[in-house]
């Protein structure tokens, strides 16, 4: 059996003076938490929860002059399935195609090839993801979830 993938070898791409990297050491937890806690999908998320989610995901950061301006994380078994979550580009850098670049780098990452299924959830970026072949669930009746919308505010799961 092959070893479980490790994220020690960072993948990096450069474009127009920007850096996109999977190097965990570059991630700015304060910036990521600051954005996520104000987002519609993770409002109020505790900092330690963000830290744990990063520890257990393959993370992609975008940097301008050393400052984090974008982020996404992938949860995967690296064999059959990947979920893309917490995707963002800060407001000051939107409209430059960075979300598209981020998605291209995620889908082309060497450890994420030949997966049978990818998934994500969005309320406002359908156009971006559709460019990469994402579509509504093929079998929405087969999709199930256990969802606790108040977990960050009540602390109960």
In-domain check, residue 1: no
Q: What is the domain extent for residue 146?
A: 12-154
111: helix, coil or strand? helix
In-domain check, residue 4: no
In-domain check, residue 66: yes
In-domain check, residue 3: no
pLDDT exceeds 60 at position 2 = no
The two structure tokens encoding residue 29: 């937890």
pLDDT band at 9 (very low <50, low <70, confident <90, very high): confident
In-domain check, residue 5: no
> Looking at residue 49, which CATH number applies to its domain?
3.40.630.30
CA–CA separation, 150 and 37 (whole Å): 13
| Tens of pLDDT, residues 44-77 | 999 999 999 999 999 999 999 999 999 999 999 9
In-domain check, residue 126: yes
In-domain check, residue 147: yes
The two structure tokens encoding residue 94: 């939107």
Q: What is the pTM of this model?
A: 0.91
In-domain check, residue 120: yes
pLDDT band at 154 (very low <50, low <70, confident <90, very high): confident
Domain tally, the chain: 1
| Tens of pLDDT, residues 68-127 | 999 999 999 999 999 999 999 999 999 999 999 999 999 999 999 999 999 999 999 999
């Amino acid at each position: 059996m092959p070893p479980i993938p490790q994220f020690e070898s960072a993948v990096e791409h450069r474009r127009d003076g920007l850096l996109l990297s999977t190097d965990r050491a570059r991630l700015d937890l304060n910036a990521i938490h600051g954005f996520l806690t104000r987002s519609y999908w993770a409002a109020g998320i505790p900092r330690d929860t963000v830290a744990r989610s990063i520890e257990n995901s393959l993370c992609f950061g975008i940097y301008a002059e050393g400052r984090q301006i974008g982020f996404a994380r992938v949860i995967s078994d690296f064999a059959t399935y990947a979920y893309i979550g917490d995707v963002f580009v800060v407001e000051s850098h939107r409209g430059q195609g960075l979300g598209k670049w981020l998605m291209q780098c995620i889908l082309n990452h060497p450890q994420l090839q030949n997966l049978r299924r990818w998934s994500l959830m969005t309320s406002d970026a359908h156009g971006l993801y559709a460019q990469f072949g994402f579509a509504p669930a093929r079998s929405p009746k087969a999709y199930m979830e256990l969802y606790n919308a108040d977990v960050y505010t009540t602390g109960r799961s």
